[in-house]
Amino acid sequence: MALTNAELKMLKSLRTGRGSAERRLFLAEGVRLLEESIRFRVRPQAVYVATNRLGERGVALAQRLKRARIEVTTVPSTQMDAVCDTEASQGILAVFNRPDTSLEQLGRTPPRTVLICDGISDPGNLGTLLRSALAFGFTLIALCGETAEAYAPKVVRSSAGAIFGLSIATVTTTQMIDWMHGHGYKLMAADQRGEPLATVAATIRRTQHLALAVGSEARGLSPEIARAAAHRIRVAHDSTVESLNAAVAGSILMKECYDLCHTKSS
């Protein structure tokens, strides 16, 4: 049951951010990611397996998907390898609808904490930030500027499945700033020359709607976000190193906000 050339071409096109954006679909590869999609109750459009590549856990997963009446197509392992982004494919791959979120939709129930990726260009960093965002309750993610494509395979993989549990909006910086303004968000922007987060702890605790922006790995914040920020905050650390990895810095700031929002004020 080999795929036709047209089907193969369509699947391969989803490996690029552009192809994924144009077709409103994205790929997720491997057993763990698909197990996570089930946990988040996100239903794939189609699943492909290379039977001889499936381990025990992969076979069980394929059966579970079939029982849920999801179409599982068996393909030759050469075709699986041609589509997969990872070097050692686990023999299972799924196509999902892209659940891109619009800010209009979000206006109805604006979440307490929002993460703005203001030019995170490395897909691994973006995926890692998504994983941390879900862990620390930042359930809405806005991607602005030169940020990597949300649903590129490397982002999906680095998110370790968190991408299935988040609302992700790709927007212009101006749209995002207007939206935050309209919904009463207080914007904190990560900046290594800013004040330590601890100095604005009381403000964070009191804030009903908090947005945290993390800037580009190479260039930092965009001028628009820097200007719109109520406070520029940094992770306190030794001056021996200039800065932290962007995903680490963003994760630490989200963690500190999470702790402040979840503990009683002292």
Interface with its own copies (CB under 8 A): 124, 128, 131-132, 134-137, 158, 160-162, 165, 235-238, 240-245, 247-248, 251-252, 255, 258-259, 266
Residue closer to its own copies (CB basis): 36 or 72: 36
- What is the end-to-end Cα distance of the chain in Å, rounded? 64
Quote the least distance from Cβ 245 to its own copies, whole Å.
Answer: 5
Give me 177's structure tokens: 């700033």
Contact present, 189 and 213 (Cβ < 8 Å): yes
Q: 3-state class of 220 per DSSP?
A: strand
Sheet with strand 186-196: strands edge to edge: 167-170, 140-144, 113-118, 210-215, 186-196, 231-234
Contact present, 136 and 70 (Cβ < 8 Å): no
DSSP symbol at 130: H
Residue with tokens 């700031």: 253
Q: By C-alpha distance, which of 99, 258, 97 is closest to 167?
A: 99
Residue type, 261: C
Residue closer to its own copies (CB basis): 161 or 177: 161
Quote the least distance from Cβ 137 to its own copies, whole Å.
Answer: 6
Residue closer to its own copies (CB basis): 40 or 107: 40
Residue closer to its own copies (CB basis): 41 or 67: 41
Give me 183's structure tokens: 């919904």
Quote the least distance from Cβ 11 to its own copies, whole Å.
Answer: 25
Residue closer to its own copies (CB basis): 99 or 124: 124
> What is the SS3 string spanning 99-124?
CCCCHHHHHCCCCCEEEEEECCCCHH
Quote the least distance from Cβ 249 to its own copies, whole Å.
Answer: 9
Quote the least distance from Cβ 155 to its own copies, whole Å.
Answer: 13
Q: 3-state class of 236 per DSSP?
A: coil
Quote the least distance from Cβ 252 to its own copies, whole Å.
Answer: 5
Residue closer to its own copies (CB basis): 175 or 192: 192
